[in-house]
Structures are given as C-alpha cells and as structure tokens.
Amino acid sequence: MLALVVDDSRAMRSIVKKIVAAEGYAVLEAGDGVAALAVLDASAEVPSVALLDWNMPEMNGFDLLQAVRAQPRYSAMRVVMITTETELEFMGRALEAGADEYLMKPFDGAALRGKLALIGLAAA
C-alpha cells in the first residue's frame, strides 16, 4: 500500500509518515499541493490514501483535494484532511469536496489509525 503525506511542516510529515509506515504503507511526501501533484504524476502507483494539511503555501490542501477529485485516475484514492482548522465549516467544505475523513491537529497515532480504519485502510 502507498500513502501520500502532504504538509508544509517537515516535522508533521515525519510524524504522519511514522504512523502510516507502521501500518504497512510505503510513503510519498510533499510540502505543498503543487509538489504533491508533481509527486502523483511521477508515481506509477496511485496511493491508497492521501493525508493532506489544509494550510500550505503554493497550493493549499483544499485546492489539492479539489484537483485530485477532478482527475478520474485518483477516484479510488481515499483522502484524509489533517489540519488545525477546527471550525465545522471547514470540515463540511472538505467532506463536500470529496474528503473521506477529517482529523484535527493535534492528534495521536491512535486517532490517525482510527480514521484509517473508518475508511477501510487499517485495523482500529
């Protein structure tokens, strides 16, 4: 299985990568949405899941979510927004745009594993 972790914080990418790697995922990383699209285009394999921060330079996670959902190649890829945006408005917008789950920062490994389990990608 392959996961894409997109966050402008190198430390946060490292934390998320460690959690999903422990679940058996190989991990691709990007620091913003533009870089993530380039990583996706260069990858022969479509990731099972993309874990996206909302607030990033160049292209934010919401715009990346919309770009990914507009491409049929990525229709089966699950998307989890992982963000500091805690207002219900943001959660609603993300879910409406095609996110499968929404996880608010700060979080722990159990919370992320739980979200993966909810979308059928990890044991709870």
3-state secondary structure of 80: strand
Residue 69 forms part of a structural domain: yes
Assigned domain for 70 exists: yes
| Structural domain includes residue 121 | no
- Please report whether residue 115 resides in a domain: no
Domain of 42, in residue numbers: 2-108
Distances in whole angstroms, Cα of residue 46 to Cα of each of 6, 59, 71, 97, 107? 15, 20, 12, 19, 26
Say if 56 falls within a structural domain: yes
Give the tens place of pLDDT for each residue, 2-24.
999 999 999 999 999 999 999 99
Give how far Cα 29 sits from Cα of 46, 49, 54, 61, 112, Å: 13, 12, 15, 13, 17
pLDDT digits (tens, 9 = 90+) for 34-93: 999 999 999 999 999 999 999 999 999 999 999 999 999 999 999 999 988 888 888 899
- The token pair that represents 103 in the structure block: 């996880």
Q: Tell me, what CATH number does 21's domain have?
A: 3.40.50.2300
How confident is the model at residue 80, as a pLDDT? Answer: 96
Q: Is 124 part of any domain?
A: no
Burial readout 50-83 (b: 16 or more C-beta within 10 A, e: otherwise): bbbbbebeebbbbbbbebbeeeeebeebbbbbbb
Number of domains in the chain: 1
In a domain, 9, yes or no: yes
Residue 35 lies inside a defined structural domain of this protein: yes
What's this model's pTM, rounded to 2 decimal places?
0.93
Q: How many other CB atoms are found less than 10 A from the CB of residue 111?
A: 15
